[in-house]
Structures are given as structure tokens and as C-alpha cells.
Amino acid sequence: MKKTLQRIDYTASTKIQVLEPPSYYTFMLDAGYTSAVKKKEEVVIGDIIATCRNTHLYSSCNGIVESVSEKAIKITPHEESTKEQISPLSFKTMERSAQIEYLEANGIDSLWRNTKNVQVCIINALPTDAVAVQYMPFLFAEEKETLEHGIETLRSLYPSARIRCAVPKNANISMQSVEVVEYAKTYPYTLTPFVKQELEGQDALGVLTLSLIDLWRIGSIARSGKPLTETILVVNNAVVRCPVGYPLTSLLERLSISVDSVAGAVSNGVMNGEPLCTLEGGVLPHFYSLHTFKKEEIPPVTDDPCVSCGFCTSVCPVGIRVHLLNQYAERTMFEACQEEHLEACIECGMCDYVCITKRPIMQYIRNAKQHTKKMLPMG
Ligand code: SF4
Ligand code: SF4
């Protein structure tokens, strides 16, 4: 999946397409959600249909629950609903703590509760991927009003904070009451930890960071007073406004991508996103991209061992001895992983990209992080 990909550069003139409604919706539960609905139950747009701790999945259609399994909830839409529609909240007049709670319920978990601690908010509008997900100028071009609602919400949540937005050099962006900062570096230095360090210095305190797509999500909620039931999604070289739960196969068909030709897919970026093991599911609220690959674009799977060439270490932007960390992570030697600065890994995927024997290094590192989290003492 490495050398054959075309780099896709979206422009401000890339139009956001609106999709025809699908014939059914499918809401995946495998990210830890538990269903809150039963088979044959009627739901309306905005009903909570599943929960995961304090986060909810909301129905994006009026319809009837067709099936509920451990993996998914399937809903068939019907417009003649007998159930009362959900009224919008007056989000802007809600208590600040209730606003943050509601945004968290919608999956926006990067906000801080203690407003006094926030001196600067950095919005990272830089490319989130070296290959597939480039900078998203179409959000500034077509969704500016929603972004401004997001800014207004940040201003009310953190009244004494400066708001800075990092954009690529020569992006020609202006935003009301926000300091727009042009940034010249390329991936992986466009990832938020580096942007924060570059803009505010290594030891800066009180710096809250969030992505451009999260700003759009906050703005959508503040503007509508309704939960998030759609996302804006880059799919290969198209951009679509997509209801949550839209079946992936229908999405590809609508964009004239042959499902039969797809041998692999990844959400939220090729370098550091999540591979999808099936196309049977639907779009999730946190998706902002979906990229598919044909068989010939995926390198053959091998089980060649690490040859200690050190390429992974030479590209690591945080200076981890990746050739060692990878060996420990592969052998489940988690304490040794911690000694090799496991937690410093920012999951950029650069090591994976250059590995000559195609070891799935970042996957091993993610696995090691999961295990070391469990090793932490309770409380
Ligand atoms: S993903 Fe690899 S290259 Fe990137 S920070 Fe982690 S170890 Fe370093
Ligand atoms: S790039 Fe791959 S083969 Fe080379 S040291 Fe790193 S893990 Fe081993």
C-alpha cells in the first residue's frame, strides 16, 4: 500500500457532494458501543441508538430498527414517522459544563473542562496525512459559517484564550477574530504535537489543540442545536456530506467506485488511520476520510523478519530507537517498550512507510500501548 498511491491535492474548488439517501443505514458497534434500541423500535433523527461510556451514537434517519446484533444496528428509513421529532437544543444558552458534556457525548473529547487553564487554542488545519488526506480547503470555502460558529463556541467556552489557526503556507485563509498562522513544514511535522511546539514552544502550558474537522463538528452542533448525524468525508478523490450510518458499499457505488475492485480500505488517513477489515459497516461519526485500494496497490504480505537496517529509526520524527522498540513490541516485552519511550510515539506511520521488510511497526506499537495502559495501577 506504499509506493503506488497517488498524492491527492484537494483545492478550494473541490465541491462537497450531497448523497442520495441510502435504502438502509448501518451503525457499527464494534468501537465499544452498546445498543440502546430494540428490534422493530421506531426511531427519529437524533435519537440515541447506542452508547459507549459518555459518548452516544445518534440515529441519522427516521425509521424502524430492522436488526440489532453485537456488531451493528440496521435501520430502514421511513418518512411517515408517528414518533415526535426531537426539538433542537438552545445550545448557545446552555451552561458551559453542559455544553462540554454535550460535545463529549458527540465524540468531541479534546476539550478541557477547566476554562481558566486554557490560554491558547490551536486549530490545526494542516494536512493530516502524507499521502491521502491533504489540507481541507473546501471546509473554509463552503463551510465557513459553520467554522465561525465553532470559533464563537470556543470563545464562549474559553473567554480569555487566544485562538490561532495553523494553515499551509500561501493558503490565503482569513477567519473572523482568529489569528491565522501560515506554516511551511510538511508531514509528519504537520501533526498537532509538532504544530503546538512550533507555535507556542516546547514547554508552553495551557495550550488546547483541536483539528479543523473537530472545529466544524463543534460549529455544526452549536449552529443546529442537534447532535451530529453527519460528517464531511474525503473518499479517494471526492468529498461528500455523508449521514452517519451510510453503508460503505452504497457510498462507494454512489461515487462509481466498484466494490468488487476494492481489496482494502482505510479510514482517516493512509499513514496513521484505521484499516477496515470489512466494507459491511457504515460511516461512523469520527470518519473524515475513506480510501480504498485495488489489489495491485497493496504489496504482497510477507513474514520477513526485521533485518535491523535502521531505516525506521532514521525517519522517526521524535527520535525513538524504532528498530529496538519494534522488536520489543513484536515480542510483547511491554516493560522494555516503555524503557524505549513507547508513549513518545505520535503514531505518524513514517517507520511503517519506510520499512524494507514491511513489518507492521505502528500496529505493534499501538498494541503495546493498549497493553501498557492495562498495566497501569487502578485509581
Ligand atoms: S509511528 Fe514510528 S516513526 Fe512515527 S513516531 Fe511512532 S515510532 Fe516514530
Ligand atoms: S525498517 Fe524494518 S527492517 Fe529496518 S530496522 Fe526498522 S523494522 Fe527492521
Q: What is the mean pLDDT of residues 13-31?
A: 91
Within 10 angstroms of residue 89's Cβ, the number of other Cβ atoms is 18
C-alpha 269: how far from chain center: 9
**Is it the case that residue 258 has pLDDT exceeding 50?**
yes
Residues 82 and 230 in one domain: yes
Residues 23 and 57 in one domain: yes
Q: What is the pTM of this model?
A: 0.92
- Is residue 130 within 6 Å of ligand 1 at its C-beta? no
pLDDT at 5: 53
Residues 38 and 102 in one domain: no
- Is residue 233 within 6 Å of ligand 1 at its C-beta? no
Q: Does residue 3 fall inside a structural domain?
A: no
The grid coordinates of residue 344 equal: 513518545
Q: Does residue 8 fall inside a structural domain?
A: no
**Is it the case that residue 379 has pLDDT exceeding 50?**
no
Q: Cα of 261 to ligand 1 centre, how many Å?
A: 31
Average pLDDT over the chain reads: 91
pLDDT band per the 50, 70, 90 thresholds, residue 171: confident
Residues 209 and 240 in one domain: no
Mutation to probe ligand 1, out of 321, 361, 369 (largest number of atoms < 8 A from CB): 361
Q: Does residue 167 fall inside a structural domain?
A: yes
Residues 174 and 159 in one domain: yes
How many structural domains compose the chain? 3
Which ligand lies nearest to the CA atom of residue 306 in the structure?
2
The grid coordinates of residue 209 equal: 489543540
Which ligand lies nearest to the CA atom of residue 325 in the structure?
1
Reported as a single tens digit per residue, the pLDDT across 113-152 is 887 789 999 999 998 888 777 778 889 999 999 999 999 9
Residues 109 and 160 in one domain: yes
Q: The domain containing residue 195 runs over which residues? A: 91-223
Q: Does residue 56 fall inside a structural domain?
A: yes
Residues 188 and 261 in one domain: no
Reported as a single tens digit per residue, the pLDDT across 311-369 is 999 999 999 999 999 999 999 999 999 999 999 999 999 999 999 999 999 999 999 99
Ligand 2: residues whose CB is within 6 Å? 306-312, 322-323, 326, 354-357, 359, 361
CB 60 within 8 A of CB 245: yes
Q: How far is CA 152 from CA 31, 221, 361, in A?
A: 31, 12, 41
| Shortest-distance Cα residue to atom 2 of ligand 1 | 351
Domain boundary among 223, 238, 253: 223
Domain boundary among 179, 197, 223: 223
Reported as a single tens digit per residue, the pLDDT across 271-324 is 989 999 899 999 999 999 999 999 888 877 788 999 999 999 999 999 999 999
Q: What percent of the chain has pLDDT over 90?
A: 76
Query: Could you give the CA distance from residue 140 to residue 216 in angstroms, rounded to a whole number?
Result: 10
CB-hemisphere CA count at 13 Å for 294? 7
pLDDT band per the 50, 70, 90 thresholds, residue 9: low
Q: What is the mean pLDDT of residues 55-60?
A: 96
Q: Cα of 335 to ligand 2 centre, how many Å?
A: 21
The grid coordinates of residue 106 equal: 458527540
Read off the CATH number of the domain in which 163 is found: 3.40.50.11540
pLDDT at 333: 96
CB 254 within 8 A of CB 19: yes
Query: Could you give the CA distance from residue 361 to residue 305 in angstroms, rounded to a whole number?
Result: 12
| Shortest-distance Cα residue to atom 8 of ligand 2 | 306
Residues 291 and 248 in one domain: yes
> Which residues are within 8 A (CB) of 99 and not within 5 positions of it... i.e. 6 or more apart?
91, 153, 156, 157
Q: Cα of 325 to ligand 1 centre, how many Å?
A: 10
> Which residues are within 8 A (CB) of 218 and not within 5 positions of it... i.e. 6 or more apart?
103, 108, 149, 150, 153, 154, 210
pLDDT at 2: 47
